[in-house]
Amino acid sequence: MGKIVMVIDDDEDVREVLRDFIEDIGYRPVVAANGQEGLDAIRRLDERPCVILLDLMMPVMDGWRFLEVVACDADLASIPVVISTSAPDRAPRGPRILAKPVDLEDFMAELRHHCSGAPASA
């Protein structure tokens, strides 16, 4: 089994397309509909995701809040985050940003960059 790639996005179609694509190219997809679901899912996993593709505008817990929580959690702070957003001008500076609609070749480049080594252990 490949490394875990997490997708947090409130649009179900986007989540499902990406889940299938991630699976097709040999990773283990974990999807969540908002930041809170994402945090819950990570804490249930036996292994840290090698990268999180994070949407910004979401209900319950948005991407900005998710980033704050992750940054303050020593366990999670080291997980690479790539932001996928339709408003790149409002995205926080720092993480790599992929404008929506996400170009899958760009996304694969990110996966190759973050997830090529041995799977990170839990």
Partner 1 sequence: MGAVSADRGGIRVGEGRTPSLSRLHDLGAELAGALDREQVARVAVGRTVDELGAAAAAAYAEVDGKLHLIARHGHALDDWSELAHDAPVALARAIASGAPEYLSDRDELLAACPALRGARAPVELQAMVVLPLLVDGRALGGLAYGFAAPQSFDRVFHAALADHFAMAMERARLYAELARRADREAEQARVVETLLATSTTLSSELDLDRLFQKLTEEATRLCRAQFGAFFYNTVDDSGEAYVLYTIAGAPREAFSRFPMPRNTAVFAPTFHGSGVVRLDDVTRDPRYGKNPPYHGMPEGHLPVRSYLAVPVISSSGGVLGGLFFGHAIPGVFREEDERLLVAVAAQGAVALDNARLYKDARAARDLEERRARLAEEVGIALTGVAPFDEQLRDCLAALTDRLDLAAAGVWIAERGESALELRAGVVRGDGDGDIAGDRVPIAMESAIGRAALERRQVLIDPLLDPPVDAPGPSDMGGVPGWARRPGIVAFLARPLLVEDRVVGVLALANRRPLRESTIKMIAGVAAQVAVAIGRDVGERERQRFQELFIGMLGHDLRNPLSAVSTGAQAILLAEVLPERSARALQRIRLSAARMSRMVNQLLDFARARDIGSGLPLVRTWADLHAVCRDVVEELRQSHPGRLVVEDYVGDAWGMWDVDRVAQVFSNLVGNALAYSEADRPVLVAIRRERDGVSAEVANSGPPIAADVLPTLFDPFRRAREGRTSMTQGLGLGLYITRQIVLAHGGELEASSGAETGTSFRLRLPLAPKE
Question: In the structure encoding, which two tokens stand for residue 115, read together?
Answer: 């997830």
9 or 49: whose CB is closer to partner 1? 9
- Residue that has been written with the tokens 């170009």 in this structure: 103
- For the bound state, the minimum distance from the C-beta of residue 12 to partner 1, rounded and expressed in Å, comes to 8
Q: Give the nearest distance from C-beta 39 to partner 1 in angstroms.
A: 21
User: Min. distance of Cβ 66 from partner 1 in angstroms?
Assistant: 16
Question: Footprint of partner 1 on this chain (CB under 8 A)?
Answer: 9-11, 13-14, 17-18, 20-21, 24-25, 57, 86-90, 100-105, 108
CB 29 within 8 A of CB 115: no
Residues 39, 81 contacting (CB under 8 angstroms): no
